[in-house]
Every structure is written in C-alpha cells, then in structure tokens.
Amino acid sequence: MKKSLMTLIFSVFLIMFMTGCEKTYLSCSKVFTDTEDLKIYETIKLGYKRTKLVNSNIYYDYQFKTDNIDVRTLKTAMELECEEYKGKKGVTCIVREEEGELHFELMLEVQELNDDTKELFSEMLEHGSYMESKEELSKEYTCK
C-alpha cells in the first residue's frame, strides 16, 4: 500500500513536470537608441505555456543624458498612445516616470484578445515557439 502511494505521488509530480504547468518566459533586450541626449532600452518578453504564446510584452526605458529633451511632452505623447488601448480586453499599457527616466510598457494577454485587437498587434503576436523566437530574436537582441 505504501509503495503504491509513493508511486502515485511520484507519477503525479512527474506528469506535472513534463506537461509544463508553469509558464516559460523569454526575455530579450537591446539598446534601441543611444545619442548624446537620450538612451532607449527595448525589452521584449514573451510568455509561453507549453508551446503556445500566452503573453507578449514590450518595454521601453528612456534614460535622459541631458536636459535638451522635453520629458513632459514625451510622457504626454506616450500617455496618449496608452489612451488608444483603454477598453481593449487583454491589453495593458503603462507609462511612468522614475527618477528622471520614463518607462513604457505594453502588455498583451493573448487568449483575451479579440480578432480586431489581434490584427492591431499582429507584429507582437507573430512569434512562434520559444525556440524559434529565441533563435530569431537573438540575431538582434541579447536573450535570456
């Protein structure tokens, strides 16, 4: 009896491990722009459950090197872009200012998107499997 219980528990854990109950994330980043005044980092983070893309996120971090850029105007423009996505199910857009830097996030929950929204964000949703995406993105980005 004890042996069969242990075998059952081991089998359950093995099945959970092999089926991938957890999400796997691929995070790839690069310096998007680097000028005298501004440095922009771009990060793409893709979430997979098994082989299916379930999250597609893009982040931009703006670091200002000088005072030559009007941060308020740039932040307002980003906030206006986020306003366009308000009310779209499965889309989250955030702009925040932190210690003189701007941070922009656009996050998609793939299973919650309707067809029109999928078409709008088709570029963010065109990624294949984890390995295909890693191979393709590694050509331009540093991935981990």
Is-contact 43 17, C-beta < 8 A? no
Return the closest-CA partner of residue 63 out of 41, 78, 95: 41
**Does the structure show a pLDDT above 80 at 115?**
yes
In this predicted structure, what is the pLDDT of residue 43? 98
In this predicted structure, what is the pLDDT of residue 68? 87
Region 48-69: mean pLDDT is 94
Q: Is this prediction's pTM over 0.75?
A: yes
**Does the structure show a pLDDT above 90 at 4?**
no
In this predicted structure, what is the pLDDT of residue 1? 56
Return the closest-CA partner of residue 144 out of 42, 60, 45, 53: 45
Amino acid at position 115, single letter: D
**Does the structure show a pLDDT above 70 at 6?**
no
**Does the structure show a pLDDT above 80 at 144?**
yes
**Which position has the higher pLDDT, 46 or 128?**
46
Q: What is the pLDDT of residues 22-31, one digit of tens each?
A: 899 999 999 9
**Does the structure show a pLDDT above 80 at 8?**
no
Region 32-45: mean pLDDT is 96
Region 63-85: mean pLDDT is 94
Backbone phi and psi for residue 88, each to the nearest 5 degrees, phi listed first: -85, 115
**44/144 Cα distance (integer angstroms):** 11
Cα 82 vs. chain centroid, distance in angstroms?
A: 16
